[in-house]
């Protein structure tokens, strides 16, 4: 699912965090997983999405759901 589809179902996240993955440094890697984006949904947990390629395009596919009502999954 894309971030847009998830947000339409459960609403907007309360917080977002973005970071690079190790794939960012692989020469000629053009996949959508060079970055990751985590969305915190308060009292529920975190959703992890692909953040796109090294050029900023693509991504936003849901790849992980972490149930953590305390919200520590974003730290």
pLDDT tens-digit map of 8-60: 999 999 999 988 888 889 988 888 888 889 999 988 999 999 888 877 778 88
Domain housing 10? 3-69
If you search the block for the tokens 């589809």, which residue do you land on? Answer: 5
Q: Which contiguous run of DSSP H or E holds residue 64?
A: strand 62-67
List, in order, residues 6 or more apart from 23 with CB less than 8 Å away. 29, 31, 33, 34
Does 42 reside within a domain? yes
Domains held by the chain: number: 1
Does 75 reside within a domain? no
């Amino acid at each position: 699912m894309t971030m847009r589809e998830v947000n339409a179902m459960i609403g907007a996240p309360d917080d977002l965090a973005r970071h690079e993955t190790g794939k960012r440094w692989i020469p000629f890697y053009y996949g959508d997983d060079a970055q990751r984006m985590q969305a915190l949904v308060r009292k529920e947990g975190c959703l992890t999405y692909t953040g796109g390629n090294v050029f900023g395009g693509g991504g936003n596919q849901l790849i992980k759901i972490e149930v953590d009502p305390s919200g520590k999954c974003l730290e």
